Amino acid sequence: MNSAGLIVFDALLLLSIVGLAWASLATTDVRRSIILFMALGLVLAVAWGRLLAPDVALAEAAIGAGLSGALLLAAAHGQPSPLPPESTNAPRNHGAAGMGMVLRWAITLLCAALAGTLVWALLHAFSNPQHDMLPRAISANLAASGVSNPVTAVLLNFRAYDTLLELAVLLTAVLGTFALGQATPGYRPAGLVFDGLVRWLVPVLILTAGYLLWAGAHAPGGAFQAGATLAAAGVVLRLAGRTRIGLPVGFMLRMIMAAGVGVFLLVGLTLLLLGRPFLGYPPAWAGSLILMIETAAMFSIAATLLLAFLGGQPESTDVNAVANRQREEDPRC
């Protein structure tokens, strides 16, 4: 009974995932598409839990539903109100109609062909036996890696280069956002209920982030999930209209943004000076080194994702923040 139940469960779950993805792309109303995309993020988090990938489920829940949804909605604020869906699909003149329709069908068929070849390749790959060389190698050296959670061991020890460069990619993306312009306008101070939600939600999010960071060594969790949870706490504060969302200003902000890559490089270089390979942690100190790197990475990921949500350099320095606050509470204007 157990496996039959699982198959029916999987079929319904996958139908929900494909249905949400299709609905999110079938509409021309941007807000509706984003809201459905956020729902898809939540269902995907359940799917990763079902596929025994709790680390990925934590990251998907924190980033897929929370952060990218909030990012997209903030960007969608400026969109004109949606035209009735039919009118945008209906082509303007008859000549283009034929062309438009043929083009749409051609693209759809091409995408179906792409999916078909992928499925054919997959079925081919699944037919030959899976030789688990990599997982066996990982579990063999897990003891020397300093952590007992295999995913954290892969991320922070065996493939430390990959994570170092990923933190550099994150930093570059935010520097690009800074170069492109000022932060998006803030949010109106929230009503009573929203404030009530923020008052308990932000502390619990911060506590969960600390717990995830600490648990990352022996259980699913780690710097990415913790950083994303912290960023979600900052996003909620910003949505509630608060001008001070825990981000330092000026030099300190830049230090925190660069902390992830900086600490990683410093650890690598000092190990190099001590005669070990660039990121080859000595087994005795591996655990504490990884924890140090993860703490720095958590803060820089949280700051980076929050600045990405702000959309640019936070324009309100502390002085302005106070000025903004007075202007908001001033009954006259």
- 228 versus 293: smaller Cβ distance to another protein: 228
Least distance from another protein to the Cβ atom of residue 121, Å: 9
Q: Which is nearer to another protein, 247 or 305 (CB)?
A: 305
In 3D, which of 325, 185, 302 has the Cα closest to residue 246? 302
Smallest gap from Cβ 150 to another protein, in A, equals 4
What value, to the nearest 5°, has the Cα angle with vertex 169 and ends 165 and 171? 115
Sign of torsion, CA 234 238 240 246?
Answer: positive
Q: Which residue's CB is nearer to another protein, number 48 or number 291?
A: 48
**Beta carbon nearer to another protein, 275 or 327:** 327
| Dihedral of the alpha carbons of 168, 171, 172, 178, in degrees to the nearest 10 | -170
Closest distance to another protein from the beta carbon of 274 (Å):
27
d(CA 113, CA 190): 49
Q: Which residue has the tokens 């109303």?
A: 29
Measured distance CA(59)–CA(53) in Å, rounded: 10
Q: How far is the CB of 262 from another protein (least distance, A)?
A: 18
The residues that bridge with 313 in the sheet, in sequence order, are: 182
What does R_g of the chain's alpha carbons equal in angstroms?
A: 24
Looking at the Cβ atoms of 264 and 284, the one nearer to another protein is 264
229 vs 289: CA distance, rounded Å = 22
For another protein, the closer of residues 117 and 273 by Cβ is 117
Among the residues of 64-159, which ranges form H helices? 68-76, 85-89, 94-127, 133-141, 150-153
Question: Nearest distance from residue 113's CB to another protein, in Å?
Answer: 9
Least CB distance to another protein at residue 127 (A)? 9
CA distance 158 to 168: 18
Q: How far is the CB of 218 from another protein (least distance, A)?
A: 10
Residue placing its CB nearer to another protein in the complex, 54 or 287: 54
How far, in Å, CA of 96 to CA of 270, rounded?
65
